[in-house]
Amino acid sequence: MDGAVQQGGGEASHFVKIDDGALKEALDSHLRFIKGTRGGRRATLPRRDLSGRDLSGVNLAGADLTGANFAGTKLTRAALANAILFGADLRQIAAQGVDLTKADLRGVCLSGADLTNANLTEADMREGQVAYVESGDLSTGRQKLTPSDMSAAVLRRADLSRARFGKGMGAEVDLSEAVLRGARLNGADLRNANLTGAILVQADLTDSNLSGATLFGAVLTDSTLTRADISGAKLFGAIINGDIAKSGAKGTPVRPGTPPPRPLAELILQHREWVDSAGAKGVRLELPGADLMGADFRNANLAGATLTGAQLARANMSGARLLFADFSFADMRDAKLRRADLRGADFSRAFLASADLSEAVLGLHGKGSSDPVRPTKLTRARLWSARLKGAHLCRVDLSGVDLTGADLAQADLREADLRGAKVTAEQLALAITAAGGTAD
C-alpha cells in the first residue's frame, strides 16, 4: 500500500505507519468523494498510526478509521460524522467541537480526551470487538470484547443525545452541562463522574453505576434508574420526577430534601423581623435543599434568604420581595413568580421550566442608573417554556441561559447580554430590545 509501512513488534505492531504525503492524498481524495467530484475516493485508513498529528478541521466524515491510532492527536472542529472508529485509540486527543454525529465508536479508548462542545448525537459507544495483530497478520489476530473507555475524559457541554453507551467505562468523566437526552447508559460505569447541570431527560440509566457521581442541578426527568447504583451520589438540586426512593435505584444518595424544621409561616415572620432589623432580631431563612414544593410565599419578604438547591416546584412567590436571595440549583418547575422583585437574587443553574415570571423585576433601570441593586444572576439557568411576558430584564446577564420555548412578549431586554443564550429570533421579535421598540 502506498505510503503505508507495517510497524513491527510489540504494541507498535497494531498500527501501520503512513507518511504525510500519503495522508494528504487520502484526505484530498476523501474531500472530493464527499463533494461528489471526479477522482474522489472514500478514505479507508484502518489501523493507521495518526498519533500526535494536527488534524484540526479535517473532513473525514464517513471514513473508515477502524482501529486507527489517534493518541494525542489534535482534532479540534474536525468533521467525523458517520465515521467508523471501531476500536480506535483516541487517548488524550484534543477534539473540542469535533463532529462525531452517528459515529461508530464501539470499543474506542477516549481516556483523558478533551471533547468539550463536541457533537456525539446518536454515536455508538457500546462494546466492540477490537482486533489485535499477532505475527503481523490481522487474519490470525485474537478478538477481545472491550467497552468504550471514557475514564477521565472531558465532555463538557457535549451533545450526546440518543448516544448508546452499553457498559462503556466513564469513571471520573466530566459530563458537566452535557446533553444526554434519550441516551442509553444502561450498565455504564459513571463512578465519581461530574454530571453537574447535565440534561438526562428520558435517559436509560438501568444498572448503571453512579456511585459518588456529582449531579448538582442535573435534569433527570423521565429517566430510568432501575437498579442504578446511586450510593453517595450528590443529587443536590437535581431534577427528578417524584421520590428518588421510588425510582428503583439502589443505594443512598447525598440529597437533603428535608422538610422545614418549623411551620413555614413562622419562619417567614422570623425572617421578616431579621430583614427589618438589619439582622439584629429574628432569624434568617436558611433552608438549603429543603422540600418546599407547593409552598405559599405570596407577597413575602424573603430578601437575603438562602434556598439553594431547594425543591420549590409549584411554589407561589407572586409579589414576593426576593432581593439577594439564593435560589441556585433550586427546582422551580411551575413556580409562580409573577410581579416578584428578583433583583440581586441568584438563580444560577436553577430549573425554572414553565415558571411564571410575568412582569417580574430582574433588571435595572437602564444606562447610567444609580440603582444600588444588581441584576438577577441567571448563570446556566434553564427557563424552558417559562412565561416572561412583560418581565423587566434590562441589563441582565443572560449569556448561556436556556430560554427554549420561553414567552418573551414585551419583556424588556434592553442592554441585556444574550451571548450564547438559547433563544430564537422569533422569540426576540416579541421583546423590547431597543429604546422604544422591539427587535426587528
Whether pLDDT at 315 is above 80: yes
Taking the model in full, what pTM does it have? 0.82
Q: Between 179 and 367, name the one with better pLDDT.
A: 179
Q: Which residue segment(s) compose the domain that 349 sits in?
A: 257-440
What residues have CB less than 8 Å from 188, skipping those under 6 apart?
165, 166, 167, 168, 169, 170, 205, 208, 209
CA torsion, points 242, 243, 248, 252, in degrees to nearest 10? 150
What phi-psi label fits residue 40: left (phi over 0), alpha (psi between -120 and 50 degrees) or beta?
Answer: beta
Whether pLDDT at 215 is above 50: yes
Band (342; pLDDT cuts 50, 70, 90):
very high
Asked whether residue 392 is assigned to any structural domain, the reply reads yes
Question: What DSSP line would sit under 271-286, residue for residue?
Answer: HHHHHHTTTSSS---B
Band (136; pLDDT cuts 50, 70, 90):
very low
Among residues 322, 346, 349, which one has the least CA distance to residue 336?
322
Do the beta carbons of residue 133 and residue 95 sit within 8 Å?
no
Instruction: List the end-to-end C-alpha distance of the chain, in Å, as a whole number.
Output: 59
Whether pLDDT at 34 is above 50: yes
Do the beta carbons of residue 369 and residue 349 sit within 8 Å?
no
Among residues 38, 45, 77, which one has the least CA distance to residue 58?
77
Q: What's the half-sphere exposure (Cβ side, CA atoms, 13 Å) at 95? A: 29
Band (141; pLDDT cuts 50, 70, 90):
very low
Band (129; pLDDT cuts 50, 70, 90):
low
Asked whether residue 14 is assigned to any structural domain, the reply reads no
Share of the chain above pLDDT 70, in %: 88
Asked whether residue 296 is assigned to any structural domain, the reply reads yes
Asked whether residue 396 is assigned to any structural domain, the reply reads yes
Number of structural domains (the chain) is 1
Asked whether residue 186 is assigned to any structural domain, the reply reads no
Band (4; pLDDT cuts 50, 70, 90):
low
Determine the pLDDT at residue 11. Answer: 44
Q: Between 361 and 127, name the one with better pLDDT.
A: 361
What residues have CB less than 8 Å from 264, skipping those under 6 apart?
292, 295, 296
Band (370; pLDDT cuts 50, 70, 90):
low
Asked whether residue 118 is assigned to any structural domain, the reply reads no
What residues have CB less than 8 Å from 414, skipping those under 6 apart?
366, 394, 395, 432, 433, 434, 435
Determine the pLDDT at residue 434. Answer: 75
Whether pLDDT at 145 is above 60: no
What residues have CB less than 8 Å from 433, skipping those under 6 apart?
413, 414, 416, 439
Whether pLDDT at 143 is above 50: no
Determine the pLDDT at residue 2. Answer: 47
Band (8; pLDDT cuts 50, 70, 90):
very low
Environment class of 241 (CB within 10 Å of its CB; exposed 0-12, middle 13-18, buried 19+): exposed
CATH number at residue 285: 2.160.20.80
Output Rg (C-alpha) for the chain, integer angstroms. 26
- Cell numbers describing residue 92: 488524550
Asked whether residue 244 is assigned to any structural domain, the reply reads no
Instruction: Average the pLDDT over 138-162 and give the result.
Output: 75
How far apart, in whole angstroms, are the C-alpha atoms of residue 72 and residue 90?
A: 7
Asked whether residue 239 is assigned to any structural domain, the reply reads no
Mean pLDDT of the chain: 89
SS3 for 181?
coil
Do the beta carbons of residue 110 and residue 131 sit within 8 Å?
no
